[in-house]
Every structure is written in structure tokens, then in C-alpha cells.
Structure 1
Amino acid sequence: MKADETIDELQTYDLRIAQERHGYRFSLDPLLLCAFAAPQVGARVIDLGTGSAVIPLVLARRTVQATFVGVELQEGLATLAERNVALNGLVDRISILCDDVLGLRKRFPVSSFDVVVSNPPYRKRGTGKVSPKVGRDDARHESSATLADFLAAAKYLVNPTGRICFIYHPSRLPELFSEAHVQKLASMRLRLVHGTSDAEARMALIEFCKGRRADLKVLPPLIVRGDGLGYTPEVAEILGGDRQGDCRQSVKASG
């Protein structure tokens, strides 16, 4: 562990994840996406914008025999992701690729994956507050690749019987659905995530497919915290039964 890092334990999944102490750090959102995507046994999965690789790491623990590729544009984060894969003994199942989403057509044949997952940057460049923490703005703001580029890459990479699962900000859902329609991606499932039952949606979980028709299913809302502000039973189950604590479940940090 480097001096400017912490090691966080996701105890439910028997994972230790190194993160930048003052840079980008994962939250609850990728864990909810993992539960929503739920790849099948033996699936081939790619994560666009993998950060510290928390999504492929968690999915590798959840899904037997599945293999994963994590794509990360920032060289420092890609190196950190590789270290996390090695730290957890998953180098035989997870590969990390430092590349732009725009360059993936040169890396993989069309329809290479059963599932494409992504927690893409949800703010347009030049909008929102600027974070003083190094790397956080690059993770939250579109850089070279836009929302349309993430969808186009996902469409290219997923096979015709596969699924595309994103977690995204509700304020950009009209743009997301409009772009998906342009790219002839069918919307299959939508689930809004609320901090509490009386709060506005804070994120949205969306599933698309290509090459087939589908009727959109709007699922019941996912409520993160109940009346006592502990995690709801569903979220607690995703996080391993811990109904208290911070947004990174029963994460214990060292360093």
C-alpha cells in the first residue's frame, strides 16, 4: 500500500480494495449495479470505466466461472485496478485494459461479451462543481467519450442475446433513452434508486439489448435507507446483511 492510499475491505465478498486516499473512491452505486446486472454462470463481462475495478471484483465473487475485462482511461487508476485484481487473487479471471472507450473496436471483435456494465461519467464537461480531489472530476465528467460513445461501444461489444446494464443519473434519462433509440437499443428494465422513500431518485439502473424487441419493465423503486436511516432489507442483503454504516457497506479501512 502506498502512503496516499487506503485498503478497504468488502467483507461480504472477501475483497480488499486499494483506493486513493484523496482521489476517486467508489460508493454504493457500483454495488447496486452488480446486483442489478447479475451475470449468469460462465458469462463474459466487460466493465466500461472500471475505476479501481470494484465492479469486476464484486461480480467475480458473485458469479462462478465468469470472466471479466475492466476498461479504464486514466493510467493511474488502471494500474491501481491491476493491483487490486492481483491483491485478491483474480488475475486468471479479470483483465484490466488501459484504453479509451472510443478505441475498443480495435481491441475486440463485434459481439465479444455476454454482458456490458458501466457506471459512466454522468456530468457533461464544464458542468457542476469542480472537485479538489485528483481524478474525481475525470471519473464524474465526460472527457473524450460521451454518453453516446459509451452506448455505441456497449452495442458493439455485446452479443445479440446479451445485456447492457448502466447506472446513471436520472436528470439525463431523457437523453439516455433518446440516444438508445437512435442506436436501436431496446430498453428492457428501469429501476430508480432513492435515498429514502420520500426523496427524489438519486440514480437509475437501466438494462438495454440489441437486435431484438422488448417492452420496458419499470421495476419497483429501490430504497436505500428506511425510517431509522439504516439500510433497507434489500440493500442490506446486497451489502451482506449490514443495515448500518456508511455508503460502502461494512467496509473497514486501514491506513
Structure 2
Amino acid sequence: MPTEFPFTLTDDRLLDGRVRLFQPQDGYRAAVDPVLLAAAVHAGPGESVLDLGCGAGAAALCLMARIGGVRVTGLEIQPDMVRLARMNAQANAAADFTVVEGSIAAPPPGLGPFDHVMTNPPYGAAGRGTPPPVAGKAVAHVEGESDLRAWIKAAAKLLKPKGSLTLIHRADRLDEILAALSGRGLGAIHILPLWPKAGRSAGRVVVSARKGSKAPLEVLPGLVLHGDNGAYSRAAEAILRGAGALSCSGSQGGA
């Protein structure tokens, strides 16, 4: 196992072994959210995708495992995570995954525009709650110099006309997401709730939008993640293990 990082790494697998992911043992750890995010991006071979705040590269590598020929650029502010994402690209023979160090507040010159932007911004608003004690985890979980509005503004600016933005976030911040999307020239907004179990309130939402579209907002049927026995639902298994797509236009329910 690589040892040139100032933290202990674990050697994990996503998509039923299709993706190998080295990640910090005690920092931010990829779970199902980056896999679901990647599954919701409907890119095609040859198209360009920006993973805004790519971390160790989980979402980018899951997207590339699902769609052959897609070109992904990751933008990441933490130097150690930039090196780790590059190492993960090499471990997965993902030659079309390029990782760039930089901030969303001031992206490197010449970055973009892209056919698609996907992002998993920090879930915690600045000043609310106690940030995690591990620095890398705090950066991933709690907003720093850029709040949620700044993340969405940066994503919109880096999109080509007719390009798509896809993000995953906490359902209780949906009002902030919609407010941040307003006035950015983004339409065809689709909201897909992610329910932990049938009958429960959604904990996460996947939100997509298209630059230059005037299509109305739609709330979609959503995805039930677990059955009553706690195991993943069949629909969730098809995405998390089978590398299926998360539809932004049809039902994903069912246990």
C-alpha cells in the first residue's frame, strides 16, 4: 500500500469491484453519495465532465466505469487529495481522468467549458455545528471560503451552452439549492429525492439542471435506498453494484 501520504490509506472497491479506491482511513470517506452522483450524470462517449471538488476521485472513476470514452477533469483544492486522486486514476488505468489543483472561488485559467459538471459540495453550512476534528474531513463536510451558492455559481460558469449540472446534497438544503440556481440561466431542473426507506423523509436529493433550457422544474419519483430489512433495494443495488444509471426522468422506486 502507498505510504507517501500524511494519513493512513485503505484500499477499497466500488461498483462491485469495478473501481479501486485508495482513500484516507480517518478523513472523508466515499460512501454511496459519489456513486449515486456519477450514476445521475447522463454523459456520452467523447463528452467532457468536470468533477467539481473531486476528492479522491470516487465519483469520477465510477462515471468512467459506467460510460466508456468519457473525459473527466477533477478540480480539488487539497494538495494531498489531488495526489491521491491522480494515484487512483493510475490504479484504475483511467488515462482520461485529469486532476487539477485549484479552488472553485478562482478556478485555474483555461479550465472548461464542459459538457457536464457534477459536484458533491460540503453538506454542512459554515458556522453551523461543530466541524469534524480531522482537517481533510472538515474541508469535505463543512463549507469553507465558498458556500453552496458559490459552488453552484462556479459550476454554471464552467458549463457549455446546453450543458448539464448535476449535484447531490442534503434534502433540508433544497431551498438554498433552488435559490442558488435562480438567475444562472439554468432550466429543466429535476429534483430526485433519495429516501432511506419507503415512507421516510428524503435525506438526500439529486438535482440536475441544463444551461440555456427554459423547461419547467420537475419533482421526480425518486429512489428508495433500503428495504424494511435494511438491505439495499433492488433499484439501489442495480446502481451501487451493477453500475446502472440513476434516471432523472422516470421512477426509481421499489424494494
Q: Which residue of 1 aligns with 2:178?
A: 177
Residues paired across the two proteins, number:
239
Unaligned runs of 5+ in 2: 244-255
Q: Which residue of 1 aligns with 2:234?
A: 233
Name the CA distance, whole Å, in 1 between partners of 2:212 and 2:161: 6
Name the CA distance, whole Å, in 1 between partners of 2:30 and 2:44: 24
TM-score by length of 1: 0.88
1:166 is paired with a residue whose SS is strand
- Letter matched to residue 208 of structure 1: A
Name the CA distance, whole Å, in 2 between partners of 1:134 and 1:5: 15
Deviations 1:103-122 (A, max 9, x none): 2262325xx21110000112
Pair 1:16-2:17 in alignment: no
Name the CA distance, whole Å, in 2 between partners of 1:217 and 1:6: 40
Q: CA deviation at 1:218?
A: 1.3
Pair 1:107-2:107 in alignment: no
Pair 1:144-2:145 in alignment: yes
2:115 is paired with a residue whose SS is strand
Name the CA distance, whole Å, in 1 between partners of 2:137 and 2:17: 25
- Pick one of 97, 102, 105 that aligns with 2:100: 97
Q: Which residue of 2 aligns with 1:55?
A: 59
Unaligned runs of 5+ in 1: 243-255
- Pick one of 86, 92, 95 that aligns with 1:88: 92
Q: CA deviation at 1:13?
A: 5.2
- Letter matched to residue 167 of structure 1: I
TM-score by length of 2: 0.88
Aligned 1:2-81 pairs, distance under 5 A: 2=3, 4-10=8-14, 12=16, 14-81=18-85
Contact 2:114 2:158 in 1 (8 A): yes
Instruction: Answer with 148-157 or 54-63: which moved more.
Output: 148-157
- Letter matched to residue 99 of structure 1: G
Instruction: Answer with 131-140 or 164-173: which moved more.
Output: 131-140
Query: Compared with structure 1, are the counterparts of its residues 173 and 114 closer, same or farther at alpha carbon in structure 2 (3 Å cutoff)?
Result: same
Q: CA deviation at 1:14?
A: 2.0
Aligned 1:198-209 pairs, distance under 5 A: 198-209=199-210
- Letter matched to residue 110 of structure 2: R
Q: Which residue of 2 aligns with 1:246?
A: none
Which one has more relative contact order, counting CA pairs under 8 Å at least 6 apart? 1
Contact 1:70 1:96 in 2 (8 A): yes
Instruction: Answer with 100-109 or 113-122: which moved more.
Output: 100-109
Query: Compared with structure 1, are the counterparts of its residues 13 and 192 closer, same or farther at alpha carbon in structure 2 (3 Å cutoff)?
Result: same
Name the CA distance, whole Å, in 2 between partners of 1:13 and 1:65: 19
Contact 1:33 1:167 in 2 (8 A): yes
Contact 1:163 1:209 in 2 (8 A): yes
Pair 1:160-2:164 in alignment: no
1:135 is paired with a residue whose SS is helix
Q: CA deviation at 1:155?
A: 1.2
Query: Compared with structure 1, are the counterparts of its residues 80 and 70 closer, same or farther at alpha carbon in structure 2 (3 Å cutoff)?
Result: same
